[in-house]
Amino acid sequence: MLKTLDVVIGATTVLLLFSMAVMVLTQAVTSVGGRRGRHLRSGLADLLQQLGIPAGELTKHIADTLLRHPLIAEGKGRLGTVIHREEFTKLLLDLASGTGVRILDQDAQNALNKALRDGGIHNPEQALKNIRAMALQIEASNPELSNHLRDGLAILHEAPSDFVARVNSWFDQTIDRVSQRFTHYTHWVSLGAAVVVVLTVQLDMIAVVDRLWIDDQFRKAIVDSAAQQYGTKTANDAVDVKPYYDLLDRSSLITLPLDRNWLARMKEWRKVPGMALSILLVSLGAPFWYNVLKDLLKLRSGLSQKDDAQRAQRQAAQIESGTTSSPPTSSGPQPAWLSGERGDLGAVG
């Protein structure tokens, strides 16, 4: 039982190591490309069309201006990745008034003002001033309320309109769809990163499991290192992965591109099923394999303690019943291979 569990722990550890590399690549691709901000901009553009601005280019321009606002944008004017409903409403009023930090193109501003008028807000500048004044009154009378709750109450009190009602009705659902689309996108990026990582090192999980099953020393090295590295660490703690890579490289279970035989080993067709399996498993992500490994290490610790306790009970019972006497007519030192737990040898006959 423990051997099977150790094999699973070893395989999980290897998958976790390369899943970390996949995670780093995925984060690099999504961050450099600003994909989270782009997905949010697309979602807000769709929401603006629901609010009465039909032209796609205008809604995209308004959404882009919103996410590049100094209060929303990330460093150096990059598209922001987070915007709250109350911020969205107040910034739309600010853009429509034309007196804020960011200024829309004339066509976009006219389209936004028309949508506001159709929704019941005829003077966005005055409405925004009233909202700020009401937020101050609410803060003075109820200082325990959070900022977004104060802003929400002020908007509902000072700008009760069909436009605000539509924002409140559609905003949360829009953000949920944006998160869903971005998650779907990152899954494809993770799969692509998994392909790159697995092909680069030629990781064959079938060969890894076979080696773990037949090589006791290799299996023990992986399991002991995993218990030491991950048994007491959290997901945010740094882990030194170089010893694992060195061990796998010395065992010929991975092949780096620096190896002169890298291309020749890539042509080995027997690796294809194991590498395909590796791509699917590694793409599940480091958090998944980290949680699996933590659970497996806890299970192994419990089983190991239980096994030791049962062995001690059997030995104590044998001593109490006098069944641990050695075979008759035995002289000289006891051979090393007879040491350890055994039954009553004298009872055989």
Residues 329/56, Cβ–Cβ less than 8 Å = no
The pTM of this model reads 0.71
183 vs 229 pLDDT, higher one: 183
CA 30 – CA 24 distance, rounded (Å):
10
Average pLDDT over residues 255-278: 79
The percent of the chain in helix, strand and coil, each rounded to the nearest 5, is 70, 0, 25
Residue 191 has pLDDT above 90, yes or no: yes
286 vs 341 pLDDT, higher one: 286
3-state secondary structure of 74: strand
Of 119, 112, 35, 120, nearest to 79 by C-alpha is: 35
Average pLDDT over residues 265-292: 87
Residue 137 has pLDDT above 80, yes or no: yes
Could you state, in order of their start, the residue ranges of all structural domains in the chain? 2-29+202-309, 33-185
DSSP element (H, E) containing 243: helix 242-250
How would you classify residue 330: left for phi > 0, otherwise alpha for psi between -120 and 50, otherwise beta?
beta
Q: What band does 338 get if pLDDT is binned at 50, 70 and 90?
A: very low
Residue 330 has pLDDT above 50, yes or no: no
Work out the mean pLDDT of the chain and round it to a whole number: 82
Q: What DSSP character marks residue 335? A: P
Average pLDDT over residues 158-173: 91
pLDDT digits (tens, 9 = 90+) for 208-237: 888 888 888 888 888 877 777 665 555 445
Of 135, 121, 122, 129, nearest to 167 by C-alpha is: 121
Please compute, for residue 183, the number of CA atoms within 13 A of its CA located in the half-sphere on the CB side.
Answer: 8
pLDDT digits (tens, 9 = 90+) for 10-44: 889 889 888 998 999 999 888 888 889 999 999 99
